Amino acid sequence: MSVAHYYLNTSQLPNDVLSYTDQDFYNFVEMFLGKLHARLLSYLHISSVPCFLLTENPCAILTLDIDDEVLEQLSQETCIKLKNNQLIVKPGVENSFKCLKELLKKKIEEHMKTTKRNIKQQVITVANTNSTQSFSLSSSMSTSSPSLFTSSCSPLTIDEHHQYLLNCIRQWCIDNKANLRFNEFELKEDVDFTFIFSNINNFLEISIQCKCGSKINLGKNAEKFQLSNYYKHLKDTRCSHMNALKKKAQEQMQNRQHTGINLTATSSPITNNKRRIDSQSSQKAKQKKEH
């Protein structure tokens, strides 16, 4: 086994080490590194894994000129005094903290990967379960009495949620294109926005990722998710994607207006010539009648 592999072998750590706080955390440090390390962290009130990882170097305080009896005793145990009376921390003490940090970071990475994998599997399981339940319910309803159609209620499947939200967005674009100053207004999935389906504690959650980069969580009313948060975001002047769409629409309108002016200017001489010919014909007919 290589040194690097052993160095980052998280199997050495307790499974729940990331949740340790206070005395549980100090007991773990004492068991893993030693009493001296645990005493230093306890004195500095570094009482959890996140706090420990955010502390750049717990040993740095030992070389400072601080009038404190506890720190002075810790310095005598962990530091070496040079000939010029300066103190340096023993390499073994400082490096052991660094090793523990790297090991805990590796543990966090593994925990995050496992969590993501579990959520993905749960979403797939929920989707398959909902589809099976929906199919079973439909089959039973088709063979039951008419009263069952009014009394039974089944949860929406992911596909049904998806289609419902798409229909709502399509209708909202139609209803709001005038207020937003669009001649034609349509938001397309995977072009202007993307749905994100996730499973949190066996409950379906849906959010929308706008092309501007913002992620909007959707609320829920009864069995259906609501898009009010997304609509509010679209009307916000800070949405760069909507600002780009509005600018493009204005440019297209200006181009149409400019094209219309050119067509009018081009057709004017033809109209004037026609009027002149009609006037001349009228005068000749009048002269013939008088003679």
The pLDDT score that the predictor gives to residue 97 is 92
CA distance 186 to 177: 9
Whether 196 and 209 have beta carbons less than 8 Å apart is answered as yes
Average pLDDT over residues 149-173: 77
Q: How far apart are the two ends of the chain, measured CA to CA in Å?
A: 124
Same domain, 168 and 92: no
User: Does the residue 111 lie in any domain?
Assistant: yes
The pLDDT score that the predictor gives to residue 285 is 63
The pLDDT score that the predictor gives to residue 271 is 56
Same domain, 104 and 176: no
Choose among 82, 46, 48: nearest CA to 63: 82
The pLDDT score that the predictor gives to residue 181 is 79
The residue among 142 and 253 whose pLDDT is bigger is 253
CA angle 246, 251, 253 (to 5 degrees): 95
The residue among 54 and 274 whose pLDDT is bigger is 54
The upper half-sphere exposure of residue 274, i.e. CA atoms within 13 Å in the direction of its Cβ, equals 5
User: Does the residue 58 lie in any domain?
Assistant: yes
Among 32-46, 79-93, 107-121, the least confident range: 107-121
User: Does the residue 286 lie in any domain?
Assistant: no
Residues above pLDDT 70, as percent of the chain:
76
Same domain, 39 and 100: yes
User: Does the residue 264 lie in any domain?
Assistant: no
Among 4-13, 20-29, 143-152, 175-184, the least confident range: 143-152
User: Does the residue 13 lie in any domain?
Assistant: yes
Average pLDDT over residues 220-232: 86
The pLDDT score that the predictor gives to residue 148 is 37
Whether 18 and 45 have beta carbons less than 8 Å apart is answered as no
Residue 23 pLDDT grade (very low, low, confident, very high; cuts 50, 70, 90): very high
How many structural domains does the chain have? 2
Q: Is the pLDDT of residue 217 over 70?
A: yes
The pLDDT score that the predictor gives to residue 149 is 38
Same domain, 168 and 112: no
User: Does the residue 148 lie in any domain?
Assistant: no
What is the span of the domain harbouring residue 57?
Answer: 3-117
Specify the long-range contacts of residues 54-58, CB closer than 8 Å, at least 24 apart. Answer: 57/94, 57/97, 58/97
Among 40-44, 101-105, 156-160, 193-197, the least confident range: 156-160
Q: Is the pLDDT of residue 270 over 70?
A: no
Q: Is the pLDDT of residue 29 over 90?
A: yes
The residue among 136 and 26 whose pLDDT is bigger is 26
Q: Is the pLDDT of residue 134 over 90?
A: no
The pLDDT score that the predictor gives to residue 79 is 93
Last residue of a domain, one of 66, 89, 117: 117
User: Does the residue 206 lie in any domain?
Assistant: yes
Average pLDDT over residues 209-213: 92
User: Does the residue 135 lie in any domain?
Assistant: no
Q: Is the pLDDT of residue 222 over 80?
A: no
Same domain, 108 and 19: yes
Helix/strand/coil for 207: strand
Average pLDDT over residues 178-188: 85
The pLDDT score that the predictor gives to residue 65 is 83
Same domain, 113 and 168: no
- Average pLDDT score over the chain: 80
Continuous H helices in the chain: 3-7, 22-32, 35-43, 49-54, 69-78, 91-142, 147-151, 158-176, 228-235, 240-290
pTM of the model: 0.41
